[in-house]
Chains A and B, each alone.
Chain A
Amino acid sequence: MSSALGADVTGTGDGGQGRIRSRAGMLVDMEDIGVITVRDLRRRYGGMGSGGFDAVRGVTFSVRHGELFALLGTNGAGKTSTMEVLEGLASPAQGTVRVLGRDPYRDRAAVRRRTGVMLQEGGFPPDLTVAETGRMWAGTLTAPRPVAEALALVDLGHRTGVAVRSLSGGERRRLDLAMAILGRPEVLFLDEPTTGLDPQSRRRTWQLIRDLLAAGTTIVLTTHYLEEAAELADRLAIMHQGRIVRTGTPAEVAASQPARISFELPEDWREPVPGMAGTAVSITGRSVLLQTHDLQRTLSALLAWANATNLELTALDARSTSLEAAFQSVASGSEPSGPDDNRQDVAA
């Protein structure tokens, strides 16, 4: 698996040479401006009237060379709408997007040979076999890797004679990934690459993504799985209602939410809970919630106080920050989560 990808780095022949040269030539640029830069991106569906809908409302971020940048968000947050502009499928209503220094919509011909795209949903004729699909897609590429190699990388080597319509959902997803990496892209866009995959396939896909990163590929990925983002992303952004509301490394984003300590006071307790540095205290009846960015210090102070006053803290619960907590706080921010789950992703 990794040896096939490793060959990509050292490179033989024209394709590899060009890649290395362009990489060397662009090193300075990439550290300054990023492989992808998005500035104040806005996207609107359905015209300018009141019937229209702003799917993306002013998004700014950049992706550095060789990193994996994850876009997270609830359905309808604007992830796919943002991806479609990066992929060059749509032009922004406002703002600028640059991929490898160029406009992916206007300079389509120049950008496309260096990018690979996996859409949220397939897009291969159901009556073609896996091998025929690979042959067709390879025929449209400038410098494809062998189809058999790409299929082997996603463990579909044994399914070449099967019609796409007969593949399972997970197999179709993997075929899609194989086609996305068939052209040895420098930049790879993956829109929910592991949706519908069983846990084992998901882990194998993660390993493939890590190998691609190790070979120098820059990847933008959207996902519903927080675990996936925590596992793979160098940096991520959480989108909500068309805006980026949190961004940073997974650890930074997780740390944006305070850690939580909760406990209950005895019924006859009359003394006040002491204030602690950097800690927000909220009391509802007998329930106390402490929110802090320094869990260890706050917890030590709390326990010291409880021991000193001979207080038993019932239902004591302390939990550190997590990506999931950060995500939940965003998702429950201004919309009830119930109906949101059933809503179609705007760009689905």
Chain B
Amino acid sequence: MNTAVVTMRGLNLPAHRIMALARAEGVLLRRNRTALLTAVVLPAPVVYGFKMLPGAAGPGGAGAAFLIGLTAFALLFAVYYNLVTTLVARREQLVLKRLRTGETTDGEILAGTAAPAVAVAWTQIAVAGVAALAVSGLGRPANAVLALVALAGGSVVFVLLAVVSAAVTRSVEVAQITTLPVLIIPFAFSGLVFRLAMLPEPLRWVADALPLTPVAELMRLALTGTSEDGHHLGLTASFTAAAVPVLVLAAWTLAGGWAARRWFRWEPRR
């Protein structure tokens, strides 16, 4: 009896729903001074400090270290932190509940809400990449495909982590505390602050399994084509070396997707 409905489909593709939400969310991001500051202004001076970090002396020099560090910051702040506060705000405003009364699916709601945050992060990274090429003397990337894998995989993982963090965050104010574990621990053990080779074996494995470590590692492979201990790798060898970090990102995607489905709430607690 619903054959007529089937013929009515297709006037709006699902992408249009994501686009409609993303456009509105983009307008809201521009109107939110704090979020804009976190997303646009904060990374620049912070990442400048990476010149003093261990990677700066390594292969690829300061340019690679700068770009890898900025990628990490973009994922942590522009994507993760920004999205936790946005999701909590929309949930408490009953926006998410209202959206769920419409045709938009749960996945489309999250994608539409996350899109501007991810777009800001990618823009930051693109601008930093151009700057690194022009100013810091960064050479052509050894394996550009891995950089795209790092960005895409890292974005998905940190969006999902934001969804899970939002589930345990009751208000926008509390987000400053609930986001600390994800902001600090993966970053501290990503290999950006100190070389992971300095860690004893079991801790080393834990560090490798954290969500930011594979992103940093893939970016390093992509930009400099060297392994963590500084050996230069060929193109094929760089793909082989990427296997473990890619698997770690895949595992985080699965775990994050499961946890998001299990715990995320679409409306405030009663």
Contacts and interface: CB of A to CB of B under 8 A. Distances in A.
Interface of A: 14-15, 17-19, 21-22, 25-26, 29, 45, 87-89, 100-102, 108-110, 112-114, 117, 119, 121-128, 132-133, 135-143, 183, 346-348
Given A18-B7, A132-B27, A139-B16, A124 B98 contact: yes
Contacts of B21: 136, 139-140
B103 A142 contact: yes
B101 A89 contact: yes
B24 A128 contact: yes
Contacts of B28: 125, 127-128
Contact of B101 (A14, A22, A119, A135): A119
A114 B93 CA distance: 25
B240 interface: no
11 contacts: A17-B4, A88-B101, A108-B105, A112-B102, A119-B97, A119-B101, A122-B94, A124-B98, A127-B28, A139-B12, A347-B270
B100 interface: yes
Nearest to B96: A123
Contacts of B32: 127
A18 B8 contact: yes
Contacts of A113: 5, 8-9, 103
Contacts of A119: 94, 97-98, 101
B17 interface: yes
B104 interface: yes
Given A89-B100, A119-B98, A139 B23 contact: yes
Given A123-B94, A140-B99, A141-B12, A25 B1 contact: yes
Contacts of A132: 24, 27
A123 B97 contact: yes
A142 B16 CA distance: 10
A297 to B, nearest CB: 49
B270 A346 contact: yes
Given A113-B103, A122-B94, A143-B11, A45 B270 contact: yes
Contacts of B103: 109, 112-113, 140-142, 183
Given A22-B4, A45-B270, A109-B105, A14 B11 contact: yes
Q: Is the interface of B mostly helix, strand, loop or mixed?
A: helix
B162 to A, nearest CB: 18
Contacts of A128: 24, 27-28
- Ordered nearest first, which 3 A-B pairs have the shortest CB separation? A139-B20, A123-B98, A22-B4
B2 A101 contact: yes
B90 interface: yes
Contacts of A143: 8, 11-12
A125 B16 contact: no
A123 B93 contact: yes
A346 B95 CA distance: 19
B19 interface: yes
Interface in B1-56: 1-5, 7-9, 11-12, 16-17, 19-21, 23-24, 27-28, 31-32
B12 A136 contact: no
A128 B93 CA distance: 12
A134 B102 CA distance: 13
A90 to B, nearest CB: 10
B35 to A, nearest CB: 11
A119 B268 CA distance: 14
B97 A18 contact: no
A117 B102 CA distance: 8
Contacts of B2: 22, 100-102, 110
A123 B99 CA distance: 8
B20 A136 contact: yes
B1 A136 contact: no
Contact of A19 (B4, B19, B100): B4
A119 B100 CA distance: 11
Contacts of A109: 103, 105
Given A109-B105, A121-B94, A14 B27 contact: no
Contacts of A346: 270
A125 B90 contact: yes
Contacts of B97: 89, 119, 123
B270 A126 contact: no
Contacts of A347: 270
Contacts of B94: 119, 121-123
Contacts of A117: 98, 101-102
Nearest to A23: B4
Contacts of B270: 45, 346-348
B4 A25 contact: yes
